[in-house]
Amino acid sequence: MNTLMKSRHDQVRNVFRDIFEGWMPTGWVEERFNSGFNPLKDIIGFSPVVSDETETNVYYYLDMPGVRQQNLTVSLTDNTIRVQAERTGRIQSKIDTQFTVPSYVRLDTLTAELVDGILSISFERVKPVENRKSEPRRIEVKTSTTQSR
């Protein structure tokens, strides 16, 4: 789990601690979270988009447990990314989400990779440009066995 995702996970843990304190036995929330419970993933099926930035790149991460490459579509229209996925098997669920990328990324450098159930989308950074438009296009999602960045 990257640092930003861990930070979000800790924030959710604190919210659960605040909600259940006094209602559940002492340590109940900690036991759930330490055993791998992730309410965003376990209840909804997918975690929301998490972003990270470096001086040269912008990254987006989506937790996609049980999703196979053939059931995943990533597309880009103007500065909006759309991710559609379907998880089949014992637990079935669908996701269809969109998010806007900032004006300081190069749209033509988009890459997407699905590794160990995490979809990583990245762009190179550039100076901001106004009124950018792009033709709608489908993005190839690559897979590999080890996490790379």
Q: Which two tokens stand for residue 96?
A: 């269809």
Per-residue pLDDT of 61-89, as tens digits, reads 888 878 889 999 999 998 889 999 988 87
Query: What is the arithmetic mean of pLDDT over 105-129?
Result: 86
Q: Which residues contact 16 (CB under 8 A, 6 or more apart)?
A: 29, 32, 33, 39
Model confidence band, residue 95 (pLDDT cutoffs 50, 70, 90): confident
| Residue whose pair of structure tokens reads 């991710």 in the numeric block | 83
Residue 7 CB-half CA count within 13 A: 6
Whether the pLDDT of residue 53 is over 60: the answer is: yes
| Residue whose pair of structure tokens reads 């004006």 in the numeric block | 103
CATH class in words for 45-143:
mainly beta
Q: Which pLDDT score, from 0 to 100, does residue 44 have? A: 47
Whether the pLDDT of residue 138 is over 60: the answer is: yes
Least confident residue range of 38-47, 99-108, 120-129, 136-145: 38-47
Domain segments of the chain: what residues? 1-37, 45-143
Q: Which pLDDT score, from 0 to 100, does residue 32 have? A: 67
